[in-house]
């Protein structure tokens, strides 16, 4: 439309110039030339008005069947005072027909969707239905009021029929809203009592997991009350009370959710290697959630003490886990890694040695290595005992605070320790090797299973936990033995490869090891020391290396464990 308007402005400018650019006197009434030019100007402007009117009619031909039809109708009436626009009566009819069509459409839409209307986003059912009905009524109200307030449309007979149909649809929408209000005001009060009498926590039947047991109907009622209050609708007394306590329910729900997240996060981060030791703590910690499952309801003020006590217990458990993990990572794993770096062999680097020097240095190296390995073994044993002592003290502190002995059997490790040191140790080791610890590990990944069983353990798991302390000592003492075997094997292999350099193409270091003396004693050459003596020296060195493990003392099973300084060994 813009190019056409520019063309119209150009045409008007040309017609205007045809009059204003003349040089004659416009006030000379005897000059007939002005009259002719003015008549030409009027003819051009009339033609321009007709073309502009046709252009407007063409571009706005489809606007009358839209919600903006009445607004454009008012504008057209103002434009028609300057520019002749045709068929205004047709436009009035088209606008009224559109209004009638909208009324019928809204009525059909209401009848079709009133049972399951499209709810506005984030609106609950009742408030959403009322909001939907009000939006339909508001749309019709704005449309019909615009039509009835128009000075021409309100006088037409069709407008009266439009008002009648509008009143029918409006009454239906108002009745629907009243029906929703009645359903809202006459809701079952006992439903609220039932929901609030439920316990704080619940084990989900489908997933078996622990979750906050705030009934969705309570959330729905609070949301309904909030939305309806903003819409200016009445609220029942019970629901008004729930709305007033909305912050209370939010605080309880959030506190419980944070509690469960902390519980699961802390429990699941326990390392697999120490989980059997922590199972007593896990059972006791899970038992602290029992009041939330069995006794405390949503109207009970004890929820604060429950959350506080359980949260403090979880924090203490988290501190214990952190300390045990620190000891485990820095004083067990790192020391075991350091033991693997100990070398038992002594070989020359630049100058070759005599056989006697080789034997002497090998013996000194093995002695120092035995002292170092023994010291590190005692460090590992001390760290293991410290882990066990940390767990034991935590269990005793928990028992003192809770004053319960329901799970004392889980910490009865004295008998197991005694059995582990006796003649039946081999049997105990064999039995512990056959145990499936994955069952214990699964309790930490899914701690809700302990609550599903009422907080108890099967006899098989009880026996496994009783053996956990002995298993911890056995496992890491075996780790030390494995390290000793690996270090001995590596040293012997290094010694073998050094003396087989001439026949081993993969060994690049071919520097001499022994310093031998050859003496010419005609008719033969005598080598000292002899090859037999060299062979005996190598055998002696191998025995020294293999005997280093004998210098590492056996673990005492927690009795008088003490790290012995290297200078006193």
* pLDDT digit string, tens, across residues 474-507: 889 999 999 999 999 999 998 888 877 555 555 5
Q: Is the pLDDT of residue 228 over 50?
A: yes
Q: Is the pLDDT of residue 247 over 70?
A: yes
pLDDT digits (tens, 9 = 90+) for 67-93: 667 776 777 666 666 666 667 777 777
- DSSP structure string for 16-44: HHHHHT--S-TT-TT-HHHHHHHHHHHHH
Separation between Cα atoms, residue 559 and residue 473, nearest integer Å: 12
**Banded model confidence at residue 292, pLDDT cuts 50, 70, 90:** very high
pLDDT at position 283: 87
Percent of the chain with pLDDT over 90: 36
**Mean pLDDT score of the chain, rounded to an integer?**
81
Separation between Cα atoms, residue 240 and residue 230, nearest integer Å: 13
Query: DSSP strand E in 223-342: where?
Result: none
List the single range of 272-286, 299-313, 331-345, 427-441 with lowest mean pLDDT.
Answer: 427-441
Burial of residue 407 (CB within 10 Å: 0-12, 13-18, 19+) is buried
pLDDT at position 226: 94
- CA torsion through residues 203, 206, 209, 210, sign: negative
- Which of these, 436, 440, 437, 420, lies nearest to 428 by C-alpha position? 420
pLDDT at position 395: 79
Rounded to the nearest 10 degrees, the angle between the axes of helix 189-196 and helix 237-244 is: 30
pLDDT at position 559: 64
Q: Is the pLDDT of residue 432 over 50?
A: no
Q: Is the pLDDT of residue 392 over 60?
A: yes
Percent of the chain with pLDDT over 70: 77
pLDDT at position 467: 80
CA dihedral 550, 551, 554, 558 (to 10 degrees): 180
**Banded model confidence at residue 2, pLDDT cuts 50, 70, 90:** low
What are residue 88's phi and psi, to 5 degrees?
-70, -35
The pLDDT of 330-356, averaged and rounded, is: 87
Name the pTM for this structure: 0.72
List the single range of 107-116, 322-331, 445-454 with lowest mean pLDDT.
Answer: 445-454
């Amino acid at each position: 439309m813009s190019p056409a308007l520019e063309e119209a402005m150009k045409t008007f400018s040309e017609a205007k110039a045809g009059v204003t650019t003349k040089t004659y006197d416009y006030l000379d009434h005897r000059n007939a030339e002005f009259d002719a030019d003015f008549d030409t100007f009027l003819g051009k402007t009339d033609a321009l008005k007709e073309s502009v009117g046709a252009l407007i009619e063409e571009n706005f031909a489809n606007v009358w069947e839209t919600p903006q039809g009445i607004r454009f109708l008012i504008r057209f009436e103002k434009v028609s005072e300057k520019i002749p626009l045709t068929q205004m009566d047709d436009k009035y009819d088209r606008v009224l027909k559109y209004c009638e069509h909208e009324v019928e459409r809204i009525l059909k839409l209401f009848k079709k969707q009133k049972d399951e209307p499209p709810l506005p986003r984030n609106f609950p059912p009742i408030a959403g239905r009322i909001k939907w009905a009000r939006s339909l009524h508001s749309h019709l109200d704005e449309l019909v009021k615009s039509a009835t307030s128009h000075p021409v449309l309100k006088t037409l007979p069709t407008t009266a029929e439009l008002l009648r149909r509008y009143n029918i649809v409006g009454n239906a929408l108002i009745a629907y809203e009243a029906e929703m209000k009645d359903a809202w005001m006459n809701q079952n009060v006992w439903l609220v009592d039932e929901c609030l009498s439920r316990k704080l926590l619940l084990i989900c039947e489908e997933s078996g997991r622990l979750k906050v047991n705030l009934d969705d109907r309570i959330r729905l009622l609070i949301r309904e009350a909030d939305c309806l209050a903003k819409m200016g609708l009445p609220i029942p007394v019970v629901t008004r009370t729930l709305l007033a306590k909305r912050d209370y329910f939010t605080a309880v729900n959030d506190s419980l959710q944070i509690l469960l997240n902390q519980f699961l996060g802390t429990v699941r981060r326990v390392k697999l290697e120490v989980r059997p030791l922590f199972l007593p703590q896990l059972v006791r910690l899970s038992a602290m959630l029992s009041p939330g499952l069995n006794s405390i309801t949503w109207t009970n003020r004890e929820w604060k003490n429950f959350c506080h006590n359980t949260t403090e217990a979880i924090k203490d458990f988290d501190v214990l886990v952190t300390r045990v993990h620190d000891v485990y990572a820095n004083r067990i794993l790192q020391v075991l890694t350091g033991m693997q770096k100990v070398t038992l062999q002594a070989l020359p680097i630049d100058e070759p040695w005599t056989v006697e020097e080789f034997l002497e240095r090998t013996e000194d190296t093995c002695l120092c290595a035995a002292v170092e390995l023994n010291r590190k073994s005692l460090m590992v044993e001390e760290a293991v005992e410290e882990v066990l002592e940390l767990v034991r003290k935590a269990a005793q502190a928990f028992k003192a605070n809770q004053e319960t002995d329901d799970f004392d059997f889980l910490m009865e490790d004295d008998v197991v320790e005694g059995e582990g040191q006796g003649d039946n140790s081999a049997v105990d080791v064999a039995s512990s090797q056959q145990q499936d610890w994955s069952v214990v590990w699964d309790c930490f990944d899914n701690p809700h299973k302990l609550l599903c069983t009422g907080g108890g353990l099967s006899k098989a798991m009880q026996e496994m936990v009783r053996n956990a302390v002995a298993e911890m000592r056995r496992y890491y003492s075996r780790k030390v033995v494995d390290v000793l075997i690996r270090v001995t094997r590596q040293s012997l292999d290094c010694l073998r490869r050094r003396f087989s350099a001439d026949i081993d193409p993969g060994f690049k270091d071919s520097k001499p090891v022994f310093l031998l003396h050859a003496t010419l004693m005609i008719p033969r050459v005598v080598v000292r020391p002899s090859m037999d003596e060299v062979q005996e020296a190598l055998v002696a060195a191998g025995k020294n290396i293999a005997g280093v493990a004998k210098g590492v003392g056996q673990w005492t099973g927690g009795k008088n464990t003490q790290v012995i300084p290297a200078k006193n060994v």
